A and B are shown apart, each in its own frame.
Chain A
Amino acid sequence: MDISITVTNRDNKTKKIIAPTDMNLNLMEILKVYEYPIEGTCGGMALCASCHIFINSKHDLPAISLSEKAILDDNWDTQPNSRLACQIPISKKIDLINIRLAPEI
């Protein structure tokens, strides 16, 4: 099945995108597929903050790992609703999630 994701870009434009749940993708990868200006420099290892996003909806997300926490702790744009998009798998659980891209690092 496909899920719907609402994305607000850095220019404040909001758009709905569709993502497949059967391709083992994460949020960072789907944002790159849709050509959002997100680098994903480390490829999804939670080692850089280039896929930093803010979550603006209530969803049951995977717990923050120590590595992700440490990266977010070291970032001055971090808010309580910050996550690294690469650490959130695309699944039914996040259908209708609403996210905003954090400022460029």
Chain B
Amino acid sequence: MIQTDIIIIGAGPVGLFTVFEAGLLKLKCHLIDALPIPGGQCAEIYPKKPIYDIPGYPSIQAADLIKKLMEQIKPFNPGFTLGETAYSLEKDQEEQFIVTTSEGTSHRAPVIAIAGGLGVFTPRKPPIENLNEFEKKYIHYIVKEPEIFANKNIVISGGGDSALDWALYFAENFASSVHLIHRSENFRAHNDSVQKAMNFAKLGKIKIILNSEVQEIKEKKGALSLNVISKNKKTQSIACDNWLPLFGLSPKIGPIGNWGLEIEKNAIKVDNATDYSTNIEGIYAIGDVNTYNGKLKLILCGFHEAAIMVQSAFKKIYPNKNNVLKYTTVTGIKGF
């Protein structure tokens, strides 16, 4: 059981900055995120895009903002449970919350801050009828541990950055054979990756199949057999150890929708007049995941909400202590 002061659900910019604000009050945080890396939307959807409304930065790439936030919170030594979805919520006899993930990791704390953005990033699955029969054994929608694909026959589907980047990674590092199947002839991945993949294809390190998609799947002689159809209706079958359909992730509110929180239009209702608390005492919601009258879904508004929220969390955790606001310019950063 992981014990902390604040369990933060969501490791996007607002979840990360909460660690900083909590750290100034000597509160320890542990973050849970369904994605295998921190950053939320900034990492998954638009890492290379500039953001222009972060105070003090006329322009900053989303991935760089995450890098800087990680650096900023480092002194406060936060814990991370990544690649796991916060699944169930319980309260124990000592009035502490227990959050258990989809993989069974348990976390315990007196306060929860939900900074879940638009929700849990859930894989977009191709429309193939019997997909779920083979998911456990052969299919991966997110690469969490690349080493499990070492020396395997891998087929990757998709035309975005993750499809290209992983195809290149496996071909370069260890896979015995990599097929990349894409529905069109244009990739939406970064130009450098596309160029590199084309060069790899020329060298025979990756087999690229364009204008095609997997139509059917079945098991054959202990391998997954993919029936691939091209736009001009030619079919071919490819046997593989693993199939990675990487068609991107789309956010869904996910299991926290069943926690008894008051939800309005896919967002958690909070009290914005005081501290962004939800209808469950001890649980707060900040950033894009919450809603209130006049809500703006901006990173900078989430940062503000985090600062206010941790003050309330402090009072909840230490009801008999009086907290005085300290300025970092005066006291500096004292980590732990």
Interface residues in chain A, defined as those with a beta carbon under 8 Å from any beta carbon in chain B: 35, 39, 41-42, 45, 47-50, 66-67, 69-71, 73-74, 76, 105
Contacts and interface: CB of A to CB of B under 8 A. Distances in A.
B186 interface: yes
Name the residue in B46, B187, B188, B251 with the highest tally of chain A Cβ atoms < 10 Å from its Cβ: B188
Name the residue in A41, A42, A48, A74 with the highest tally of chain B Cβ atoms < 10 Å from its Cβ: A74
B250 A41 contact: yes
Given A45-B49, A70-B188, A71-B188, A39 B159 contact: no
Interface of B: 41, 45-46, 49, 118, 124, 126-127, 158-160, 182-184, 186-188, 213, 247-248, 250-251, 265
A41 B45 contact: yes
Nearest to A48: B45
Name the residue in A35, A41, A70 with the highest tally of chain B Cβ atoms < 10 Å from its Cβ: A41
Contacts of B265: 35
Given A45-B46, A74-B158, A74-B159, A69 B248 contact: no
Name the residue in B127, B187, B250 with the highest tally of chain A Cβ atoms < 10 Å from its Cβ: B250
B330 to A, nearest CB: 37
Contact of B213 (A66, A69, A70, A76): A76
A7 B46 CA distance: 29
Contacts of A69: 184, 186
Contact of B184 (A35, A47, A74): A74
Nearest to B213: A76
Contacts of B159: 70, 73-74
Contacts of A39: 118, 250-251
A69 to B, nearest CB: 6
B183 A73 contact: yes
B251 A73 contact: no
